[in-house]
Amino acid sequence: MVQVLTPSAKGASVTTTNDYDALGRRIRTHKHVVVPRDLPIDFEHYYYYDGSRLIEQRDGAGSLERHYVWGLDYVTEQVAQ
């Protein structure tokens, strides 16, 4: 787990926590946003892999945010996002 606190404009702060699996791949990001005089907001993103290749990013409700398409020629050849 890696946690980062980022102060932002107008006194707001964002705490980002990343969780990783045993292979070192990021599997979850949690953002906790605190804005003065307002309720805190939480965001979660989940990452899904096919082997070492990232294939999907979903939000906390399970809705697809991004889908990644990889080529066959190179291990790192990303065709579309």
- Tens of pLDDT along 31-68? 998 888 888 889 999 999 988 889 999 999 999 999 98
pTM: 0.76
Which domain, by its residues, includes 50?
2-80
**pLDDT of 66-81, one tens digit each?**
998 887 766 566 666 5
Average pLDDT of span 16-29: 95
Per-residue model confidence (pLDDT) at position 11? 77
Provide φ and ψ at 47, rounded to 5°.
-120, 135
The domain total for the chain is: 1
Query: Which tokens is 38 given?
Result: 């307002």
Provide φ and ψ at 57, rounded to 5°.
-130, 125
Q: Answer yes or no: are the C-beta atoms of 30 and 17 closer than 8 Å.
A: yes
